[in-house]
Structure 1
């Protein structure tokens, strides 16, 4: 069976992404450029990352930085990530650039795709999902959240 692809664009140009993938160009680039170990991010980390993105969308909505329907769509999509419904769309290796930018963008792209489907209009991975965030903050926060959840279990 032949896999079908869609063309995605980023600041470095265009590339082919599997049609069924919820991620976009930046995740695909990282997937192709850093095939180090074959180990993926643990479920607990992805769950915590979804919770961090959900909280950020809620805060941005309450502050009026995102329209309420946009914030709600991002929150719902992030909750699905936290619940483990889309783990197959987090294919990146645990060994990647130092700040975890690739994993942060993977989450942003997946959540944006899901939120776009809910909202019926484009949700941008950087401008909307990652609003007010940096990988240098998101990744350490995610580590703290996942550790806290593990200790409480």
Structure 2
């Protein structure tokens, strides 16, 4: 039961993070960078998984955020469908994480890193949360490389 509660809580938090409205920040007013994917949601998730693994990284967890939001909507008094589907792939890079956390240990707040795939009304996007200026821009460059590989 405790594991289910942790998974549900994690899914809710990630769902809120990745479905939040775009707010102003240091990245041109965007919380996330997204790219259109020319294909199905399943093709996009396969492409993202492959791009992460091809970088030699291990996916720690896949949050099925869209499923969770659809499953729990009625429980929280909503009948709105936010996503037809949405998954978040969570992973870390030992080399890069060590580097950015040696620069500032509080960069732990950004780990693990995530790449998401979302389908809204048949439009599939792949993206990632923007990182703050400074050392975390190296992580953002990695995320951007992964996403661009996935959408090719």
Give TM class, smaller chain: 0.3 to 0.5
With normalisation by structure 1, the TM-score equals 0.33
Question: Which protein has the bigger helix share?
Answer: 1
Question: Which protein has the bigger strand share?
Answer: 2
